[in-house]
Amino acid sequence: SSVARQSLKIGLVPADGIGREVIPAARTAIEALGSDIPKPQFIDLLAGFELFTKTGTALPEETIAALRECDCALFGAVSSPSKRVTGYSSPIVALRKELDLYANIRPVVSVAANPSGKPSVDLVVVRENTECLYVKQETIIATENGREARAVRLITERASRRIGRMAFELALTRPRKHVTIIHKSNVLSVTDGLFRETVRAVPRQEPGKFDDVTIAEQLVDSAVYRLFREPEIYDIMVAPNLYGDIISDAAAALVGSLGLVPSINAGDNFVMGEPVHGSAPDIAGKEIANPIASIRSAALMLRRLGYIQGADRIDNAVDEVVRQGTVLTPDLGGKSKTHEVVDAIIKRI
Ligand code: ATP
Ligand code: MG
């Protein structure tokens, strides 16, 4: 819900690769809103793999401290080194923990001029953001038969309940009000069994509140298959961390490009917008990164804070530009530069 604020303090963490090209684009879109939102105050902050290679730290204490003073933030992307680098761990994973951003909310929507020509998609992946295999407790030992590696997969009732509640709350705001629980409890009956059972129990904790919400569940493999064949059956997909990660990239492919898909990392007290794509080293520095995922992430962030009108203005402007189809970056089959897409969007805002 919206809090009356004099100004809106927004932390900006572009981090690596195209993050540095698309976060400034999102900033420009927010600035274009004028009096729809409190006067934005932007705080530029450092993080990332490149910072680590220069300074030995990927997430400075100052960045975390400054974010705690902000109302919200936008994060770009971090490059992931292809091999394990001693002393390095992903700053975004750490930030989600530090700020207790337990939900990653990823709406995937196809617009009219959908270049992939696939059926229309309008779903939200609600991904648990703090546990599952992302606790990163991996070990490797030497055995008689060679090395043996193991990873811990943590699923707790608390985290499953709060991600479940987030999914049901979100369902109430949507026309179809349909939640699909994604799991693999035929194989992982203990961990995924707990996730599934806990999410299913959420409506029983607040009797009456979620009566209009319908619930389905699906094994993750069949969910991916059906996502490609009949994406229109999905409204809210709630999933443990790793399945949520994979499903949202797959859904992004359905709507034409990773460069279109936004997300927020949300907790009870803070929200951080973040495009679903990564640092895209293959196109970094060429000024052809699609800024739409980041611009839409800014809109999602504002929506979560209660600035619906501002969020709508950004989303409508983006939709018009995509639908018109004349100013698009190469990932969508266009020839335009990042800044040209930004300009077209700003003009419509
Ligand atoms: P990372 O390790 O940071 O995730 P990656 O190599 O996996 O890097 P992604 O950023 O995940 O790269 O992108 C996957 C593919 O999608 C790349 O080919 C990339 O160029 C493309 N892509 C991602 N984001 C965008 C964008 N905003 N605009 C255009 N193309 C994009
Ligand atoms: Mg990637």
CA-proximal residue: ligand 1, atom 4 (nearest):
278
Q: How confident is the model at residue 1 (pLDDT cuts 50, 70, 90)?
A: very low
User: Long-range contact list for 282-285, CB < 8 A, 24+ apart?
Assistant: 283/18, 284/16, 284/17, 284/18, 284/20, 284/21, 285/21
Please tell me whether residue 143 adopts helix, strand or coil conformation: strand
How many angstroms separate the alpha carbon of residue 7 from the centre of ligand 1? 33
Mean predicted lDDT score pLDDT of the chain: 94
In percent, the amount of the chain with pLDDT more than 90 equals: 86
Residue numbers annotated as active site: 134, 184, 221, 245, 249
Is 196 touching ligand 1 by the criterion CB < 6 Å? no
Q: Model's pTM, two decimal places? A: 0.90
Q: Is the minimum distance from the CB of 218 to ligand 1 under 6 angstroms?
A: no
Is the interface score ipTM higher than 0.90?
A: yes
- Say yes or no: CB of residue 277 within 6 Å of ligand 1: yes
pLDDT at residue 82 greater than cutoff 90 = no
Confidence of residue 118 (pLDDT cuts 50, 70, 90): very low
Q: What is the pLDDT of residues 131-174, one digit of tens each?
A: 999 988 999 999 999 999 999 999 999 999 999 999 999 999 99
Instruction: Copy the structure tokens of residue 46.
Output: 């450092």
Candidate of 83, 258, 276, 292 to mutate for ligand 1, largest count of ligand atoms within 8 Å of Cβ = 258
Residue 339: how many CA atoms within 13 Å on its side-chain side?
4
Protein residue with its CA nearest to atom 13 in ligand 1: 280
What torsion, rounded to 10 degrees, do the Cα atoms 184, 189, 195, 200 define?
A: 90
* CB of 280 sitting under 6 A from ligand 1: yes
- Ligand whose nearest atom lies closest to the CA of 338: 1
Closest CA to ligand 1's atom 17: 280
Please tell me the predicted confidence (pLDDT) of residue 3: 59
- Residue 282 beta carbon below 6 angstroms from any ligand 1 atom: yes
State how far the Cα of 277 lies from the Cα of 293, in Å rounded to an integer. Answer: 8
Provide the β-strand partners of residue 265. 104, 272
Residue of the CA atom closest to atom 16 of ligand 1? 258
SS3 342: helix
Alpha carbon nearest to ligand 1 atom 26, residue: 259
Can you tell me which atom of ligand 1 is nearest the CA of 278? Answer: 10
Mean pLDDT of 91-117: 83
Q: Which DSSP string do the residues of 207-219 spell out, in sequence order?
A: TTTTTT-EEEEEE
Q: Which ligand neighbours the alpha carbon of 245 most closely?
A: 2
Tens-digit pLDDT profile for residues 272-323:
999 999 999 999 999 999 999 999 999 999 999 999 999 999 999 999 999 9
